[in-house]
Structure 1
Amino acid sequence: MILFEPDRRRKAAPTLVDQTVAALEDAISARVLRPGMALPSIREFARNHGLSTFTVMAAYNRLVARGLLQSRPGANFRVSQRKQASPAPVPEWVAPRIGASWLLADVFADHSISIKAGCGWLPPDWHDTAGLPQALRQLSRIPISQMASYGHPLGYRPLREHIANRLLEHGLDVGPDQILLTHGATQALDIVVRTLLRPGDHVAVEAPCYANLLQILALNRITVHAIPRTAEGIHEATLDDLARRHPIRAMFVTTVLQNPTGASFTMAGAFRLLQLAERHAFLVVEDDMSRDLLPEPAPMLAALAGPSRVLYVSGFSKSVTPSIRVGYLACAKPLADPCARTKMSLGLTSSEVMERAVHHVLRDGRHGTYLRGIRERLRRAHDQVAASMRAHGFEIWGEPGAGLFLWARPTSPRLAGDGMIELAARALKAGIWLAPGSYFDPDGKETGWLRFNVAYSDDPRLWRFFQQTSAQ
């Protein structure tokens, strides 16, 4: 029995094992190989198809693992006798109930929303199609003995060395032992909070603010004070007054392409914040996730003040892919050690496999070209989405022309009248995800604003929804 003709082109074709598995799966699906039927012996199948016995053995074993074949010692491989489950009926789609829990958890598993205008990541088809697959292939060649341990508490050292060199280009001089790799930048923020703060401590955050940070602070029972975000940075007078009245331990800020407003600090705004931190002796925690998406240089607080005053947090979900959960914390050595202990207490080491993959991507000569392409696509998306906003009567809070986000609010009474939570609930019924400003407000109050991800918001159906809703 000849099931297929192997394609032996080395670069273009799948491996011979993959081809053999696919051919057998097709034969089982088409009932050429029926339940209970014995397959040819490994030697016979190999001889008939011009394959090695090792290739056929690997393919047969893979199909056993998938439950398509059965194997008994001393007997031939046979097609499994399992009954085919009848397809489950497809339920009618019901819009999820909007709320903070949906935004922070359920939305990541909810693939029913077709227009994700409020999400916080790049579309899957925008991501690097060369660097990451090559990195994963490279990982498959590493002997398992080199990755059979938990790894170093600080993370994969070659990646920490690479990060240290990259930070030095921005003026931040830290060694690899001052860099702690984490399971995403959000875990780095959580580690900072758990290590340096105690329940009841006072901190300042931007308003609006990264939503997950607010949840971290609430879970740790930290007292949070809101400081308005401005076009140049933060409202220094409000922070100065707050620090005179309360023992502020830390200020959490996003320097570049802030989530959700898209704003970036000016150099003057950065210096004024650091002067206040020095005057009132509080730490600054700098969340710098989106710097790779900014075309031009921008101030880095940690480089200006040093790691003793500023703890620097970043990661690779924006510049590589969100599924590669690798972030990092750069700080003074006396802080790095206790933060590493907190990391180990929470979940032991981070994933060296993912850290190796990121290291390979960053060293690949194509990553810089990929980032330049992403920046240009985002610039065009900003222009298009801002034009749609103006055409539909939205007020835009700054136009950064870079990064993922625009912060805007509708001026139409029919859109704005019942508040953004209600508007978002109506949008969900139309298969549209909006992100109301209350999710990003330290007090959770209605603000009238929405966060738009420009990479997802250049969709005629989104603006048709606003037009139709405004006309109702």
Structure 2
Amino acid sequence: MFDFQPVRARNQGSTLVDQVVDVYAAAIQNRQLRPGMAVPSVREFARKYGVSTFTVASAYGRLVNQGWLTARPGAGYRVAPQGDAHAPSEPASWVPPRLNASWLLSDIFADHSIAIKSGGGWLPGEWLNEEGLHQALRHLGRVPALRIAGYGHPYGYAPLRDTVASGLGAHGLDVTLDQVVLTQGVTHGLDLVIRTLLRPGDTVLVEHPCYANLLPMLRLAGVRMVSVPRTADGLDCEALAQAAQTHRPRALFVNTVLQNPSGAVMSMSNAFRVLQLAEQQEFWVIEDDISRELVTTSAPMLAALDGARRVVYLGGFSKVISPSVRVGYIAAHRDLVRDIARTKMAVGLTSPEIMERVVHQVIREGRYRAHIARTRERLAQAHAVVAQHMDALGLTLWARPHAGLFLWARLPDSWACSANTLAEAALKDGIWLAPGSYFDPDEADIPWMRFNVAYSQAPQLWRFLEQVRQKKSA
């Protein structure tokens, strides 16, 4: 068919998914593969060339959406007819998606037509713990059906809750089983907390910049948002104190570690000051700590410092196991957890025990900690590469965490280009960038962008940005 030799060098610009897509596109253009010809299945290709099935499935999905391949149930993948209206020989047929909140919140997760997703919030498929997932799924296949046929416990699968409690204990947060409730990811957990603690008309404090998905949830809840500037050290505590005194907020929402989108880590002194203000002004602290496993240095956990009295702690597994494994958790005072469990049952009944069992098994198997260590290492390498490109182009970095998924970068004034305008132009080149307006409570077109370092090593991205720089400086 063709000779494919995957390149896994650390300084390799393209991912394995990119390499599979490129080799197929070249073979079809060169007529090595002709319309209607069958191509190897995902498993066949993975076995033959020594790559993961996640990599091949992602590449095949992209090839289908770009018009190179077709997929039919029971018939596998075949080379698409070149006269097809969606075939890549007619590039004008592809229309870039419109950059708006609707696409960000829904379509982006299904849109495989964008080749480079530097604005994404997840790890590449080939970075995920494939062997751990396969082993967990095989284990689940041996569980008698009657044991997993019911709704499950309202709080979630008890062995996983126990594992979560033990893990939090290692960070200094001592909680019992009845202080942990499982959710369908951290975003679902935030929704449950919002529904339980807040009422329309309440005021809450959010970070600026802020986790993008939190903002529409708060708008839907009818609450008023007041933003508090984020600094490289944590929250601007003078602004926090003033906002708390002026607006009497019900709650503060905060990312402690590797904040989304800035990548910054809160210092211990900042954490103590935030908790002190929360105690003085009597507001809840909702701590979204989804990236705790990816941090490489010691970092404060607000809930541990507070003893889970005023802090509601949220964590999950999408950043280290798989984004499709929608399992998260909330840890808090037992009375509040009981109320959250009631909310959970009222709006969606129990969370899927099957997925919770899968996560529990992945954590139990021996390679989980090694997988996290390897992911941290790969992210550190990606940070070094991406930061070097940014420095060369004159972008200003908010922080240099050397860990986690994100870098938050300011566009040079000399480019005279708004972040939204740049993102629109990038989409036409098959590049998704995340402009600052995604993370601004007022959706203002601020001159900042979030980059996912794991997806930002593609040469096409930096060629595009270099062309923008040259054009603006000409």
TM-score, with length taken from structure 1? 0.81
Larger radius of gyration between Structure 1 and Structure 2: 1
Q: Which residue of 2 aligns with 1:51?
A: none
Contact 2:393-2:469 at 8 Å conserved across structures: no
Q: Secondary structure at the match of 1:228?
A: strand
Q: Which residue of 1 aligns with 2:31?
A: none
Q: Which residue of 2 aligns with 1:433?
A: 432
- Shift of residue 87 of structure 1? 10
Q: Which residue of 2 aligns with 1:445?
A: 444
Contact 1:155-1:352 at 8 Å conserved across structures: yes
- Shift of residue 105 of structure 1? 1.0
Q: Which residue of 1 aligns with 2:273?
A: 272
Q: Which residue of 2 aligns with 1:147?
A: 148
1:231 and 1:89 map into 2 onto residues whose CA distance is: 49
Please tell me the residue identity of whatever aligns with 2:464.
Answer: F
1:90 to 73, 86, 106: 86
Please tell me the residue identity of whatever aligns with 1:140.
Answer: G
2:94 and 2:135 map into 1 onto residues whose CA distance is: 38
Contact 1:117-1:432 at 8 Å conserved across structures: yes
Q: Which residue of 2 aligns with 1:341?
A: 342
Q: Which residue of 2 aligns with 1:304?
A: 305
C-alpha spacing 1:351/1:87, structure 2 compared with 1 (3 Å): farther
Task: State how 1:158-197 maps to structure 2 within 5 Å.
Answer: 158-197=159-198
- Shift of residue 297 of structure 1? 2.0
Q: Secondary structure at the match of 1:211?
A: coil
Q: Which residue of 2 aligns with 1:419?
A: 418
Please tell me the residue identity of whatever aligns with 2:397.
Answer: I
- Shift of residue 470 of structure 1? 2.1
Please tell me the residue identity of whatever aligns with 2:276.
Answer: Q
Please tell me the residue identity of whatever aligns with 1:271.
Answer: F
Q: Which residue of 2 aligns with 1:233?
A: 234
Task: State how 1:314-333 maps to structure 2 within 5 Å.
Answer: 314-333=315-334
Contact 1:313-1:327 at 8 Å conserved across structures: yes
Q: Secondary structure at the match of 1:387?
A: helix
Q: Which residue of 2 aligns with 1:199?
A: 200
Q: Which residue of 2 aligns with 1:456?
A: 455
Q: Secondary structure at the match of 2:117?
A: coil
Q: Which residue of 2 aligns with 1:244?
A: 245
1:242 and 1:300 map into 2 onto residues whose CA distance is: 23
Q: Number of matched residues?
A: 391
Q: Which residue of 2 aligns with 1:468?
A: 467
Identity of aligned residues (%): 54
1:175 and 1:459 map into 2 onto residues whose CA distance is: 45
- Shift of residue 296 of structure 1? 2.0
Name stretches of at least 5 consecutive residues in structure 2 with no aligned partner. Answer: 1-35, 38-72, 76-80, 88-92
- Shift of residue 88 of structure 1? 6.2
C-alpha spacing 1:67/1:167, structure 2 compared with 1 (3 Å): closer
Q: Which residue of 2 aligns with 1:368?
A: 369
1:379 and 1:67 map into 2 onto residues whose CA distance is: 42
- Shift of residue 103 of structure 1? 1.0
Superposed CA offset, 1:49-86 (max 9, x none): xxxxxxxxxxxxxxxxx789xxxxxxxxxxxxxxxx99
2:424 and 2:451 map into 1 onto residues whose CA distance is: 16
C-alpha spacing 1:87/1:307, structure 2 compared with 1 (3 Å): farther
Contact 1:393-1:412 at 8 Å conserved across structures: no
- Shift of residue 443 of structure 1? 1.1
Contact 2:232-2:264 at 8 Å conserved across structures: yes
Q: Secondary structure at the match of 1:248?
A: coil
Please tell me the residue identity of whatever aligns with 1:300.
Answer: M
1:467 and 1:381 map into 2 onto residues whose CA distance is: 19
1:173 and 1:88 map into 2 onto residues whose CA distance is: 60
TM-score, with length taken from structure 2? 0.80
Contact 1:324-1:354 at 8 Å conserved across structures: yes
C-alpha spacing 1:344/1:469, structure 2 compared with 1 (3 Å): same
Q: Secondary structure at the match of 1:452?
A: strand
Contact 2:411-2:419 at 8 Å conserved across structures: no
Q: Which residue of 2 aligns with 1:263?
A: 264
1:170 and 1:216 map into 2 onto residues whose CA distance is: 29
Please tell me the residue identity of whatever aligns with 1:97.
Answer: R
1:88 and 1:137 map into 2 onto residues whose CA distance is: 40
Say whether residues 1:391 and 2:383 are aligned partners.
no
Superposed CA offset, 1:280-329 (max 9, x none): 01110000000100112210000000112100001000011100000110
2:372 and 2:85 map into 1 onto residues whose CA distance is: 43
- Shift of residue 184 of structure 1? 0.7
Superposed CA offset, 1:174-215 (max 9, x none): 111111100110000000000000001011010000011111
Q: Secondary structure at the match of 1:171?
A: coil
1:378 and 1:322 map into 2 onto residues whose CA distance is: 17
Please tell me the residue identity of whatever aligns with 2:453.
Answer: V
1:409 and 1:461 map into 2 onto residues whose CA distance is: 20
Please tell me the residue identity of whatever aligns with 1:169.
Answer: A
Q: Which residue of 2 aligns with 1:211?
A: 212
Q: Which residue of 1 aligns with 2:359?
A: 358
Contact 2:233-2:270 at 8 Å conserved across structures: yes
- Shift of residue 412 of structure 1? 5.3
Please tell me the residue identity of whatever aligns with 2:165.
Answer: A
Superposed CA offset, 1:414-451 (max 9, x none): 3xx23111110000000000000011011111110000
Q: Which residue of 1 aligns with 2:20?
A: none
Q: Secondary structure at the match of 1:423?
A: helix
Please tell me the residue identity of whatever aligns with 1:467.
Answer: E
1:405 and 1:210 map into 2 onto residues whose CA distance is: 12
Superposed CA offset, 1:341-393 (max 9, x none): 11111111101000000000011110000100000000010001000001111
1:287 and 1:175 map into 2 onto residues whose CA distance is: 20
1:471 and 1:381 map into 2 onto residues whose CA distance is: 25
Supply the RMSD in Å over aligned alpha carbons. 1.7
1:118 and 1:336 map into 2 onto residues whose CA distance is: 34
Q: Secondary structure at the match of 1:163?
A: helix
Contact 1:192-1:339 at 8 Å conserved across structures: yes
C-alpha spacing 1:106/1:67, structure 2 compared with 1 (3 Å): closer
Contact 1:412-1:470 at 8 Å conserved across structures: no
Please tell me the residue identity of whatever aligns with 1:182.
Answer: T
Q: Secondary structure at the match of 1:229?
A: strand
Please tell me the residue identity of whatever aligns with 2:357.
Answer: R
Contact 1:384-1:458 at 8 Å conserved across structures: yes
Contact 2:185-2:327 at 8 Å conserved across structures: yes
Q: Secondary structure at the match of 1:370?
A: helix
Please tell me the residue identity of whatever aligns with 1:436.
Answer: P
Q: Secondary structure at the match of 1:259?
A: coil
1:280 and 1:174 map into 2 onto residues whose CA distance is: 25
- Shift of residue 90 of structure 1? 2.0
Say whether residues 1:136 and 2:137 are aligned partners.
yes
Please tell me the residue identity of whatever aligns with 1:90.
Answer: H
